[in-house]
Protein backbone atom coordinates (compact mmCIF):
# COMPACT_ATOMS: atom_id res chain seq x y z
CA UNK A 1 0.00 0.00 0.00
CA UNK A 2 2.89 2.37 0.67
CA UNK A 3 4.23 1.82 -2.86
CA UNK A 4 0.76 2.71 -4.19
CA UNK A 5 0.76 5.82 -2.01
CA UNK A 6 4.13 6.88 -3.41
CA UNK A 7 2.91 6.21 -6.96
CA UNK A 8 -0.15 8.42 -6.36
CA UNK A 9 2.03 11.21 -4.93
CA UNK A 10 4.07 11.05 -8.14
CA UNK A 11 0.90 11.32 -10.25
CA UNK A 12 -0.06 14.44 -8.32
CA UNK A 13 3.40 15.89 -8.91
CA UNK A 14 3.03 15.15 -12.64
CA UNK A 15 -0.38 16.88 -12.70
CA UNK A 16 1.30 19.95 -11.19
CA UNK A 17 4.09 19.94 -13.75
CA UNK A 18 1.83 19.86 -16.83
CA UNK A 19 1.23 23.11 -18.68
CA UNK A 20 -1.47 24.03 -18.09
CA UNK A 21 -1.76 22.29 -14.74
CA UNK A 22 -3.98 19.22 -15.03
CA UNK A 23 -6.53 20.32 -12.42
CA UNK A 24 -8.78 17.27 -12.91
CA UNK A 25 -5.87 14.86 -12.33
CA UNK A 26 -4.81 16.96 -9.36
CA UNK A 27 -8.25 16.73 -7.74
CA UNK A 28 -8.85 13.04 -8.45
CA UNK A 29 -5.25 12.24 -7.52
CA UNK A 30 -5.76 13.91 -4.15
CA UNK A 31 -8.92 11.87 -3.49
CA UNK A 32 -7.18 8.64 -4.52
CA UNK A 33 -4.19 9.52 -2.33
CA UNK A 34 -6.52 10.02 0.67
CA UNK A 35 -8.25 6.69 0.05
CA UNK A 36 -4.91 4.88 -0.19
CA UNK A 37 -3.58 6.62 2.95
CA UNK A 38 -6.71 5.47 4.79
CA UNK A 39 -6.29 1.91 3.48
CA UNK A 40 -2.64 1.95 4.54
CA UNK A 41 -3.70 3.00 8.03
CA UNK A 42 -6.13 0.07 8.18
CA UNK A 43 -3.45 -2.34 6.92
CA UNK A 44 -0.93 -1.14 9.51
CA UNK A 45 -3.53 -1.35 12.28
CA UNK A 46 -4.26 -4.97 11.35
CA UNK A 47 -0.56 -5.86 11.23
CA UNK A 48 0.21 -4.21 14.57
CA UNK A 49 -2.86 -5.77 16.15
CA UNK A 50 -1.71 -9.25 15.07
CA UNK A 51 1.86 -8.57 16.16
CA UNK A 52 0.83 -7.23 19.58
CA UNK A 53 -2.07 -9.58 20.21
CA UNK A 54 -0.50 -11.07 23.34
CA UNK A 55 0.66 -7.78 24.85
CA UNK A 56 -2.52 -5.95 23.84
CA UNK A 57 -3.27 -3.47 21.08
CA UNK A 58 -4.64 -0.08 22.00
CA UNK A 59 -6.47 1.29 18.95
CA UNK A 60 -6.91 4.77 20.47
CA UNK A 61 -3.17 4.99 21.14
CA UNK A 62 -2.47 3.73 17.63
CA UNK A 63 -4.62 6.51 16.09
CA UNK A 64 -2.83 9.13 18.18
CA UNK A 65 0.56 7.72 17.17
CA UNK A 66 -0.47 7.87 13.49
CA UNK A 67 -1.66 11.47 13.86
CA UNK A 68 1.65 12.41 15.47
CA UNK A 69 3.67 10.63 12.77
CA UNK A 70 1.49 11.69 9.80
CA UNK A 71 -0.13 15.04 10.70
CA UNK A 72 -2.38 15.08 7.60
CA UNK A 73 -3.82 11.61 8.26
CA UNK A 74 -7.00 12.95 9.95
CA UNK A 75 -7.72 14.92 6.75
CA UNK A 76 -7.10 11.83 4.64
CA UNK A 77 -9.50 9.82 6.84
CA UNK A 78 -12.31 12.32 6.34
CA UNK A 79 -11.68 12.80 2.62
CA UNK A 80 -11.64 9.02 2.08
CA UNK A 81 -14.81 8.52 4.14
CA UNK A 82 -16.56 11.36 2.30
CA UNK A 83 -15.65 9.79 -1.05
CA UNK A 84 -16.66 6.30 0.10
CA UNK A 85 -20.00 7.21 1.64
CA UNK A 86 -21.04 10.01 -0.72
CA UNK A 87 -21.74 12.46 2.07
CA UNK A 88 -19.53 14.98 3.84
CA UNK A 89 -17.63 13.54 6.81
CA UNK A 90 -15.74 15.69 9.30
CA UNK A 91 -15.12 13.43 12.28
CA UNK A 92 -11.32 13.48 12.32
CA UNK A 93 -10.26 16.74 10.73
CA UNK A 94 -12.72 19.02 12.49
CA UNK A 95 -13.01 22.38 10.73
CA UNK A 96 -10.67 21.36 7.91
CA UNK A 97 -11.41 22.30 4.32
CA UNK A 98 -9.82 21.77 0.91
CA UNK A 99 -10.07 24.19 -1.97
CA UNK A 100 -8.78 24.34 -5.52
CA UNK A 101 -7.22 27.78 -5.91
CA UNK A 102 -6.33 29.53 -9.16
CA UNK A 103 -2.93 31.06 -8.47
CA UNK A 104 -1.04 32.30 -11.52
CA UNK A 105 2.58 32.90 -10.70
CA UNK A 106 2.53 30.80 -7.53
CA UNK A 107 6.02 30.71 -6.07
CA UNK A 108 7.51 32.31 -9.16
CA UNK A 109 6.31 29.52 -11.45
CA UNK A 110 3.57 29.39 -14.04
CA UNK A 111 1.48 26.96 -12.01
CA UNK A 112 -2.15 27.97 -12.29
CA UNK A 113 -3.77 25.77 -9.64
CA UNK A 114 -2.99 24.38 -6.21
CA UNK A 115 -5.02 22.44 -3.70
CA UNK A 116 -4.92 24.22 -0.35
CA UNK A 117 -5.72 22.27 2.82
CA UNK A 118 -6.92 24.57 5.61
CA UNK A 119 -6.84 23.19 9.14
CA UNK A 120 -8.95 24.62 11.93
CA UNK A 121 -5.72 25.59 13.73
CA UNK A 122 -5.00 28.21 11.07
CA UNK A 123 -2.33 26.19 9.27
CA UNK A 124 -2.63 25.78 5.51
CA UNK A 125 -0.80 23.20 3.44
CA UNK A 126 -0.44 23.27 -0.32
CA UNK A 127 -0.43 20.33 -2.68
CA UNK A 128 2.96 21.22 -4.13
CA UNK A 129 4.75 19.53 -1.24
CA UNK A 130 2.13 18.10 1.12
CA UNK A 131 1.64 14.72 -0.62
CA UNK A 132 5.36 14.08 -0.80
CA UNK A 133 5.72 14.96 2.89
CA UNK A 134 2.85 12.64 3.86
CA UNK A 135 4.41 9.82 1.82
CA UNK A 136 7.75 10.37 3.56
CA UNK A 137 6.02 10.55 6.96
CA UNK A 138 4.40 7.17 6.26
CA UNK A 139 7.73 5.70 5.16
CA UNK A 140 9.39 6.85 8.36
CA UNK A 141 6.55 5.41 10.49
CA UNK A 142 6.55 2.09 8.63
CA UNK A 143 10.31 1.79 9.09
CA UNK A 144 10.01 2.61 12.81
CA UNK A 145 7.41 -0.16 13.14
CA UNK A 146 9.54 -2.56 11.07
CA UNK A 147 6.68 -3.11 8.63
CA UNK A 148 8.52 -2.66 5.33
CA UNK A 149 10.25 -5.33 3.33
CA UNK A 150 14.00 -4.78 3.02
CA UNK A 151 14.94 -2.44 0.21
CA UNK A 152 11.90 -0.16 0.33
Per-residue pLDDT tens, the chain, 152 aa: give them: 999 999 999 998 888 787 777 778 888 888 899 999 999 999 999 999 998 887 888 888 999 999 999 988 988 888 888 777 666 666 665 666 676 666 666 545 555 666 677 776 777 777 778 889 999 999 999 999 999 877 66
- Residue 87, pLDDT score: 60
Question: What span, in angstroms and rounded, lies between the C-alpha atoms of 135 and 114?
Answer: 18
CA distances from 60 to 57, 75, 89, 96 (A): 9, 17, 19, 21
Whole-structure pTM value: 0.82
Alpha-carbon torsion, ordered 59, 2, 37, 72, to 10 deg:
90
Pick the closest to residue 15 from 6, 5, 24 (CA basis): 24
* DSSP 3-state of 12: helix
Domain limits of the chain?
Answer: 2-144
Handedness of CA 79, 85, 88, 93 (dihedral sign): negative
Pick the closest to residue 134 from 15, 19, 29, 62 (CA basis): 29
Regarding beta strands 97-102 and 113-118, do their DSSP bridges make them parallel or antiparallel, or are they unpaired? antiparallel
- Residue 12, pLDDT score: 87
Amino acid sequence: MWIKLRWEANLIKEAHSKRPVDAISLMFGAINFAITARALEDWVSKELHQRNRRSGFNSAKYRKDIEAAIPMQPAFRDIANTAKHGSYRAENWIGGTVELVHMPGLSGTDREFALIYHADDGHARDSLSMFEKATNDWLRYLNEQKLLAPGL
